[in-house]
Structure 1
C-alpha cells in the first residue's frame, strides 16, 4: 500500500492547500532566498564569521573547566581571548593572530591543566590560531608572514609536551606553504587577467589606428589628387595659355606655391594618421623662421596684408614657434575666407618672455559685420585657443566695434614660462 493511498483524502487536501500557499524555503521566490539576495556578499562573509565565532565561543566557555583550572568568574574572559580574535580574520588578520598568540602564551603559564589533558590550549583556541595563521599567509606582506610563522613555530615548540611540538611545527609549516602557494596562484591569475585586459586594449588601439590609416588613405586619394591637379594646372598655365601677362604668371605661380604647401601639409597629416607616433621620416615642423614666408605667401595669394615685427625670434622655443605659426596661418585663412577684399594687419612683438600676436581685418564692404559666430566658434577658433593653452598662453578672438575682426594672443617664449591671463594688458592697434 502506497503512502498516498494510506493518507486519508481530507488530510491530502489539507497538505496540498498548505503547500500551494507557502513558497518552498531555499528555492527561487522563497523567504530565505530573497533575504539572502538582499545582503551584499561582503556582509554575508562578516555574518558567517560572527556566527562561527559565536558557535566556537559557546563551545569554549563550557568546556574550559574540563581542560584548565580557571576560576569561574574569569572563564568568559579566557574563552573570549581564545575565540574572539577570529572576528578580525577579514579586517586585520595580523592583529587577530597577535591577540590569539598572546593569549596562547598567557593561558599555559597562568592556568594549570587538569589531569588527563596534556595539550596546552583548548581545541577551539587551536582552530582559531591556525585559521589566523593561514589568513595571514594568504593576505599579509611576506615579512609579516615570516614573523608569524616563526613565532607560531616557537610557540608550539615551547608549550607542546614531548616531541609533539616538532610534528606541530612541521604541520604548521606545511599549512603556511600551502597558503602561500594558493596566494601565488591567485596573484598569477590576476596578473594574467590584467595582461589579457591590456591585450584587449592594445587590440582596440590597433583597430583605431587601422581605421585612422584607412581614413588617411581616403583623405589622400580624395584631396591630394585634386590638389596635385591644381599645382600642375597652375604651373603649366603660362605655357598652355598664350599672351599671359607677367602679373598673371606671378599669380599662377603663387597659386601653385600655395597648393604645394597645402599638399605637403596633407601628406604630413597622412603620416600622423597612418602611425601611432613613430614615423619613418619626420619632416621639420614650421616655426618662427617660417612666419615671414607664410606672410609673403598670403600676400602673393591676394590677401591685402601688411605686417610689422619687433624684437628677435631667436629665443622662441620650437613648441611656441609651431603654435605661433599655426595661429597666424588659421587667422589669415579665416580673414581671406570670411572677409575678402579687406585690409589685414598683423603685428608681432617678440619679447624676452612673451610673444604678442595681433591679426586684424577690416569690415567687409557691403556685407555688414564679419559673419563669425562667437558663441559657438568653429573648429578653427577652438583649435587656435587650444594651441595657445597648450603652451601656457591665451588667445582672444572677437568682433571689433568698427565691424572688423581681430585675433589677439600672448604666448610664452618657452611653454614653462608663466603667462598672466589679464586680457587688459594686450596691446591694441
Structure 2
C-alpha cells in the first residue's frame, strides 16, 4: 500500500512538472507573437509594448496554480487596454488575438477547477466584456454582441462537463480504494477469527485436561499428603483462572467473518486419539464408534473432531469428575452424542466466570457442513450435546448405499 502511494505521488509530481513546463513554453510562444505584432493593431509606445504583450500572454502561467486570479488579471487588463489603448487605423479589435486566446483558456480552467460561484462570476463578466467591447468591432451589435457570449457560454458548459467527468472518476477511484481497504480489513478479521477459533479449540481443551487432572488427582492417587492436595488444588485454581483469561482474550480476536481451516487439520479418524488422551488425563470416559470414520470428508471430519473436543472440554470444565459418554454412529449421516453426568467429588466450575462461545462455535461448525447441533442440560443435572452431520452419498459404505437403494 505504501509503495503504491509513493508511485502515485511520483507520477503526480512528474505530470505536474511537465504540465508547468509546457505552460511556460506556451506563455513564451504567445509573448513572442504578441510583442512583435502589437503595433499592427494598436498605437503603443515602444517602451510600453513588452508590458502590454506581457498582460496578454503571462496570465496563462497561473492556469494551474490559481486560474481564477489569472482570469481576473487577464480580463481586467483586456478591459483596460480596450478603453485606454488606441487602435491602428483599419483595426477594430479592442485587444490582441493572443489576449483572447489566453482569456478563453483561463475561463475554461476556471470552469474546470474553481468553485461554482467564481465560475458564475467569470462567465457573466467575460460575456459582458466581450459583448460590450467586441460590439464595436462588428457591423452591428447583433453580429458581434451575441456571438461572443454564446461562444463563452459553450466554453463554460464544456468545462463544467469536463469537471463533472473528473469529479466522477475521482469519486470512483476513492470508492475503489475504500473497497480495497475494506477487503483487506475483512481478510485480517477473518484470519483473526480463524486463529481465535483454533486457539479456543486446542488451548481450551488442553487447559481443561490440566484442570481435570489437578482436581481428580486426590481421588485417583492414594496416600497424598495435605500439602500435595493443596498443591493440586492450587494448580487447578490457577489453570481455571488462566483458561478464563485466555477465553476473554480470544473474544477480542473473534469477528463475524470465517475462513476455511488451513491444513494440516485433524480428521474424523483422529477422534480415537483425542478420546484416549482425555481418558489418560483422568476423565472418566466411555465411548463407542459404530462404522468407519476413515473415509469421512475432511470438512465434515474436522467439524466432528472439533465438536467432540469442545464437548469434552466443557464437560471437564463445568462438571469435573462426572462420567462422560461419547457415541458416534456412521450411517446415512454422522450422529454424535456426548453426555456427561453431574459433577461429583469436586466443586463444579463457577458459572458466573467469563462466558465462552464454545456452544455457539460448535453450532456454527455443524451448520457450516449442513448439519445441526443441540446442546441442553439433562434432568439429572448433567449435560448433553447431540449433533447430526450429513455425509455425501459417495462416502457411504456398501451397506449404507444398499439401504438407501432399498428405501428408495
TM-score (norm 1): 0.51
**Displacement of 1:79 after TM fit?**
1.9
- In structure 2, what is the equivalent of residue 187 of structure 1? 167
Q: 1:217 to 1:115 in 2, by over 3 A?
A: same
Paired residue for 1:55, among 29, 38, 51? 29
**1:124 and 2:98 matched:** yes
Distance 1:73 1:227 in 2: 96
**Displacement of 1:242 after TM fit?**
4.2
- In structure 2, what is the equivalent of residue 144 of structure 1? 118
**Displacement of 1:126 after TM fit?**
0.4
Distance 2:45 2:235 in 1: 107
Deviation track 1:396-420 (CA, whole Å, cap 9, x = no partner) reads xxxxxxxxxxxxxxxxxxxxxxxxx
**1:221 and 2:201 matched:** yes
Deviation track 1:224-251 (CA, whole Å, cap 9, x = no partner) reads 1111112222233333344555554444
- In structure 2, what is the equivalent of residue 270 of structure 1? 250
- In structure 2, what is the equivalent of residue 199 of structure 1? 179
Q: 1:73 to 1:238 in 2, by over 3 A?
A: closer
- Please give the secondary structure, in 2, of the residue aligned with 1:113: coil
Q: 1:246 to 1:46 in 2, by over 3 A?
A: closer
- Please give the secondary structure, in 1, of the residue aligned with 2:146: helix
TM-score (norm 2): 0.53
Cα root mean square deviation, aligned: 2.6
**Displacement of 1:264 after TM fit?**
1.2
Distance 2:234 2:51 in 1: 98
- Please give the secondary structure, in 1, of the residue aligned with 2:240: helix
Between Structure 1 and Structure 2, how many residues are aligned? Answer: 239
Distance 1:85 1:174 in 2: 22
- In structure 2, what is the equivalent of residue 35 of structure 1? none
Deviation track 1:313-367 (CA, whole Å, cap 9, x = no partner) reads xxxxxxxxxxxxxxxxxxxxxxxxxxxxxxxxxxxxxxxxxxxxxxxxxxxxxxx
Distance 2:33 2:170 in 1: 39
Distance 1:51 1:207 in 2: 50
Distance 1:196 1:41 in 2: 22
Give the unaligned 5+ runs of structure 2: 1-12, 136-140, 258-408
Paired residue for 1:153, among 127, 132, 140? 127
Give the unaligned 5+ runs of structure 1: 1-38, 278-429
- In structure 1, what is the equivalent of residue 75 of structure 2? 101
- Please give the secondary structure, in 2, of the residue aligned with 1:120: coil
Structure 2 counterparts to residues 152-301 of structure 1, below 5 A: 152-161=126-135, 162-163=141-142, 164-242=144-222, 247-275=227-255
